[in-house]
């Protein structure tokens, strides 16, 4: 989980952003509400934004309807499955926890998410490499992702440490084709400033330390990339109510 995440307002009246996930969340809970959100990242890159939008809208709608938050979270998961997007991101984002390991698939309350301890001063530096919508990714890589994913998860669960995660995440992104040789060659000189790097869809992510983050970012800018920094969030979704409205 990365911080800052999205911020979303769900309230009576007002407009909506025209995102299908949000519309389905409101419809599923029978709520007519306006929705406004602010995000530091774009859809279709690999940050799990579709799941975050779905979850935020569903939790906000549940709060307005006086329904349990878990009901909203489960609806958000069902929408992601129906649309073929988040692939388990809802449960991870609902619970939060830095570096997460999805031990058992399913909606919040059914699936199981565990946490991998990591160094306290660890931060993330990310580079967007373009859009890669999930439906296209699945059409091109479904079998490869399924086979490799099971194998790498078994390896990680045998040794669920930060060091093992750092190694396996990079190997996995190479094997499924997210991380190509040309890209690795381009960033090779910058890797010394990070513990590890890997790619998820079209996000290139480095895990480094606060005192190395600026040197890493400067190196990446020097090879023509546009890095951005994130902290690791230890918390999941948060809901605030405004009683004045």
Per-residue model confidence as pLDDT tens digits over 23-67: 999 999 999 999 999 999 988 888 989 999 999 999 999 999 999
Q: How long is the chain?
A: 245
Cis peptide before 76 (omega within 30 of 0): no
pLDDT value of position 245:
47
Nearest to 225 by CA among 127, 153, 123: 127
SS3 of 62-90: the string is HHHHCCCHHHHHHHHHHHHHHHCCCCCHH
Tell the CATH topology of 116-232.
Alpha-Beta Plaits (3.30.70)
pLDDT value of position 112:
86
- Using the predicted structure, report yes or no on whether residue 163 has a pLDDT greater than 70: yes
Tell me the C-alpha distance between 115 and 98, whole Å. 7
DSSP-based three-state secondary structure for 43: coil
Domain boundaries, the chain: 2-110, 116-232
State pLDDT tens for residues 173-209.
999 999 998 999 999 999 999 999 999 999 999 999 9
According to DSSP, the β-strands at 99-104 and 203-209 are unpaired
């Amino acid at each position: 989980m990365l911080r800052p995440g999205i911020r979303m307002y769900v309230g009576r009246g007002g407009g909506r952003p025209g995102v299908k996930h949000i519309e389905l969340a409101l419809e599923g809970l029978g709520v007519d509400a306006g929705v406004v959100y602010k995000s530091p990242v774009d859809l279709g890159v690999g940050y799990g934004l579709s799941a975050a939008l779905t979850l935020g809208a569903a939790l906000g709608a549940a709060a307005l309807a006086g329904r349990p938050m878990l009901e909203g979270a489960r609806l958000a998961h069902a929408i992601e499955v129906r649309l073929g997007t988040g692939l388990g991101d809802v449960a991870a984002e609902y619970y939060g926890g830095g570096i997460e390991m999805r031990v058992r698939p399913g909606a919040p309350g059914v699936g199981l998410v565990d946490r991998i301890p990591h160094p306290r001063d660890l931060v993330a530096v990310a580079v967007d490499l373009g859009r890669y919508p999930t439906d296209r990714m699945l059409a091109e890589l479904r079998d490869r992702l399924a086979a490799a994913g099971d194998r790498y998860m078994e390896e990680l669960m045998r040794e669920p440490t930060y060091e093992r995660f750092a190694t396996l995440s990079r190997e996995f992104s190479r094997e499924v084709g997210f991380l190509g040789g040309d890209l690795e060659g381009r960033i090779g000189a910058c890797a010394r400033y990070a513990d590890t790097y890997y790619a998820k869809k079209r996000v290139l992510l480095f895990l480094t330390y606060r005192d190395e983050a600026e040197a890493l970012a400067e190196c990446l800018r020097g090879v023509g990339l546009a890095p951005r920094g994130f902290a690791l969030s230890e918390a999941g979704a948060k809901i605030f109510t405004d009683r004045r409205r």
